[in-house]
Amino acid sequence: MLDLQSRIDRLGEEEQMIRDSVASFYSDDATLKRVRAQRGEQPGYDSGKWQEMADLGWLGSQIPEQYGGMALKFSEVIHMFEQFGRALAPEPVISTTVLGAAAILNGDNGGLKEEFLPLLVSGKCKITVAWQENVSSMDTEATDVVATADGTGYSISGKKLFIPSAAGVDAFVVSARASGGTSLFLVDKNSEGLSIEYENRIDGGFFAMITLEDVSVEETAVVAKNGAQVLSKALDEGRLAVSAELFGVMAQALEISVDYIKQREQFGKPVGSFQAIQHRAVDTFILVELSRSVLIQSARTFDQTEDETARAIAASQAKARCSDAALKVTKSCIQLHGGIGYTDECNIGLYLKKAMFLATWLGQAAYHRSRYGKLTNAI
């Protein structure tokens, strides 16, 4: 297959090694048979593959070395997530080892860090965040889920929405309104009073809604008292990772489509020789390359500063650009395929469906453009 990226990028040795190792890992499913087989199936991924990823160290890519992680730079780790996007990887790396791990790592409970971060790195435990309470709301302050102190710990009640990959996790980091504001709590998936309902996603995965009815947690399960701040930081790291995955989705879709139009013939000529097709392909290529530049710039911002506002601006910049571009690119790629692109048997449609999910997860492009404007105007 044509590799457009290798003709443009000049990656460092470590970046190239990360890119090549992940690409090689998924090379045995170039036809996406494994991805197709896991659509609509719980938990939606292969536990054997997950353990292989742990053995390679990928699950600890952004976790500090003191907890067994690799502590990679953001400018390095985006190449790993790009390859996940190219492979349409169903493994819940972002929801667990980025969001879940970041919530615990940035919290103020040292005991939970020592206990659970090494388990996340080893693949023996999966934790994700349950924070969203209302449709279309990105507010990190909990309102509907309430944690009431009961003398020995807390009793938590309420509902959380849009939790990805919940079937395969062991615990949730739940945001709840406590007496001092929003706090984060580590809640075991099998806790008494916790129930889970699943809804199908367009890409074949699942979103979950969890209902908590007087779920008891001990004081030692408090991840952070400044929950909204910790959650915002974790979500922005997740948004950068999702942007990298979106970039991988659109880049791969374009490469597949360029290969197709070079081979598909009409009127005795490859359709790629027609000027109208070339114009569409070039317009699509420009969207991909603009997204690449924004993604790299945003990742470097994360590497260079711990300032939360600067990181939030960078995250929204990348998420807005990559969400819009991925949808436009994958839709255009279906057009380049012609009628066969609309069939489920044609793999190009899987890239559009993945883009549709990732583009809305953690905030749509319109939300992030608005957020970007507000943050930059406030500086």
CB distance 130 to 156 below 8 Å: no
Domains of the chain: 5-122 (1.10.540.10), 127-225 (2.40.110.10), 229-377 (1.20.140.10)
Percentage of residues of the chain with pLDDT beyond 90: 87
Can you give the pLDDT at residue 156?
Answer: 98
| Residues facing 196 on adjacent strands | 210
Q: Is the bond into 43 cis (omega within 30 degrees of 0)?
A: yes
Can you give the pLDDT at residue 3?
Answer: 59
Question: Which is it for strands 181-188 and 171-178: parallel, antiparallel or unpaired?
Answer: antiparallel
Q: In sequence order, which residues have a C-beta less than 8 Å from that of residue 249 and are 6 or more positions away?
A: 85, 86, 88, 326, 330, 351, 354, 355, 358
Displacement of CA 310 from its chain's centroid (Å): 20
Can you give the pLDDT at residue 163?
Answer: 97
Q: In sequence order, which residues have a C-beta less than 8 Å from that of residue 297 and are 6 or more positions away?
A: 314, 317
Q: Is 147 helix (H, G, I), strand (E, B) or coil?
A: strand
Can you give the pLDDT at residue 270?
Answer: 78
CB distance 226 to 61 below 8 Å: no
pLDDT digits over 78-101, tens only? 999 999 999 999 999 999 999 999
Helices and strands in the chain: count of H runs, count of E runs: 12, 10
Give phi and psi for 328, each to the nearest 5: -65, -45
pTM of the model: 0.95
Question: Which segments of the chain have a pLDDT < 50?
Answer: none
State which amino acid sits at residue 269. Answer: K
Radius of gyration of the chain (CA): 21
CA dist 51 and 124 (Å) reads 8
Can you give the pLDDT at residue 1?
Answer: 56
pLDDT digits over 7-16, tens only? 566 777 888 9
- Residue 191 buriedness (CB in 10 A; 0-12 / 13-18 / 19+): middle
